[in-house]
Chains A and B, each alone.
Chain A
């Protein structure tokens, strides 16, 4: 497959991270990460030039809000997947938000949408 897209995952729960990794891989994407901390995410984003990112909001330490703003400034599309969608109420312009628990199909559809891949 030509031009595989690179998707950065930030998720601090290892099981959920593994699930995300598998879902996106089987949808034909290259996964960058998963990063479990914002610092790792920043490093990975610098070194791997992802085409899109899937972000958990609340991490063990801190959150990904500032990191998401950086991505937005760099023009890298992202979505949040969170069990507390209201924690993003102040985020403007409104980001793409997937409520946890997500369904694998919904996640793939949403990431494809970020990457501008038409629905097959």
Chain B
């Protein structure tokens, strides 16, 4: 956009330039009218109107402001070195998006585009500096005025007003037309940035999808390695341990999967996530009856949800395992509910074939329970082990929704 310092010298036909208006008063009222038109165009641009709508209004405005019959916005097509009519006023139908003029320096529009200098041709029939484009000859244009359309970056094209009547375009007309072109320049720049942002966003979506794909492939590879080891190790206890490790990978992967489908990457719906986890666990533990209930949706930061899910995985696996060794059919109830605005409670209760009587989580030796202890501590959560009925065990985890600032 031009400023006072770098304002290019207009290229105007030889003087003298007679003033269009016969009296100063008339001239003044024409300038006032031009200012009003510019300010209306500015309002449309500020309102964020779509670019085509703004260009359409601009060509009407500029024709009116310069008292001319024809106006057009020409977009530069660098590949073809031509200027294509993007918007027009006064032209017959079928030219917009179709008609074009050369963008070489010998055409007035091309000259304005490449040099950034406004060009006035008041007598096209005698024009010697430039070749008059076919489009103007055909439409009986006698005089034309061209200014460059430019945002911050490469020039967009040219704004041109044409008239079939006798008369003169003046340097004051250039000021008006350049004012309109500057407004359009800002809007064009905004659209360019929006387009660049959108394509960057699309690119990142593709990238994110690709990364997700790879993360899950890697998790699959790790799970398969563990599965294969589990099958060949020979010791049934070790096999069990490895199978559990493999299922923990599944817990993390399913959170990952939920995340990629969620519009919000930072938070996850805890009730849905844990319900799906319980469904997966049920499939793996055919001899347990697993029941899940949740009071309401609970949104929670993803990393906390994954840790809570690992806790749940351990507690349920543990309950099923202990139940199995005691022979009876195990029932496990999982419930989550919001305790208060800041915390959630997770309850895992079995029907009586659960833990040994004197169980203490802090002293638990099994790997699973040590994992639970570590996760609980990391979450800043509290865990209680209750005995609601004969022999039954209930783990009650009270977990803050957000990490506490130390």
Complex contacts, B217 vs chain A, CB 8 Å? 13, 83, 100
Q: Is the interface of A mostly helix, strand, loop or mixed?
A: helix
In contact, B224 and A18 (Cβ under 8 angstroms): yes
A13: B residues at CB distance < 8 A: 217, 220-221, 224
Does chain A have a CB within 8 A of B213? yes
Expressed in whole angstroms, the minimum distance between the Cβ of A99 and any Cβ of chain B is 6
Which B residues between 201 and 235 are near A, CB-CB below 8 angstroms? 209, 212-217, 219-225, 227-228, 231
Q: Which 4 A/B pairs are nearest by Cβ-Cβ distance?
A: A83-B216, A19-B224, A101-B220, A100-B220
Tell me if A69 is interfacial: C-beta within 8 Å of chain B: no
Whether, in the assembled complex, B284 has its beta carbon less than 8 Å from a beta carbon of chain A, the answer is: yes
Chain B contact residues, majority secondary structure: helix
A101 touches B228 (CB 8 A): no
B257 interfacial contact with A, CB 8 Å: yes
Residues of B within 8 A of A84 (CB): 209, 212-213, 216
Q: For B216, B224, B246, B280, which residue has the most chain A Cβ atoms within 10 angstroms? A: B224
* B residues in contact with A104, CB < 8 Å: 227, 246
Measured CA separation A33–B223 after assembly (Å):
21
Flag whether A15 is at the interface (Cβ < 8 A): yes
Interface membership of B253, Cβ < 8 A: yes
Chain B interface bracket (under 10, 10 to 19, 20 to 34, 35 or more): 20 to 34
Tell me if B368 counts as interface (CB < 8 A to partner A): no
Interface code A99-113, partner B: CB below 8 Å = 1, 0 otherwise?
Answer: 111111110010000
**In the complex, chain A residues whose CB is within 8 Å of the CB of B213:** 58, 83-84
Q: CA of A71 to CA of B359 in the docked complex: distance in angstroms?
A: 55
Which residues of chain A are near B216, meaning CB under 8 Å? 83-84, 99-101
B351 within 8 A of A: no
Binary interface profile of A, 29-51, with partner B (CB < 8 Å = 1, else 0)? 00000000000000000000000
- A101–B249 touching, CB < 8 Å: yes
A22 sits at the interface (CB 8 A): yes
A106:B280 contact, CB within 8 angstroms: yes
A20 vs B224: C-alpha distance in the bound complex, in angstroms?
8
For the complex, what is the distance from the CA of A16 to the CA of B220, rounded to whole Å? 7
CA distance A18 to B229 in the complex (A): 11
Judged by a CB distance under 8 angstroms, whether B301 is at the interface is: no
From B209, B212, B219, B231, contact of A101 by CB (8 A)? B219
Q: Please give, as numbers and ranges, the residues of chain A lying within 8 Å of B257 by CB-CB distance.
A: 99
Cα(A26)–Cα(B228), bound, Å: 12
Is A19 touching B212 in the complex (CB atoms < 8 A)? Answer: no
Assembled-state Cα–Cα distance A86/B249 (Å)? 21
Contact yes or no, A15 B224, CB < 8 A: yes
Docked Cα-Cα span, A101 to B249, in Å, equals 8
Residues of chain A within 8 A of B249, CB atoms compared: 101
Chain B CB within 8 A of A65 CB: no
* Residues from chain B with Cβ under 8 Å of A100 in the complex: 216-217, 219-220, 253
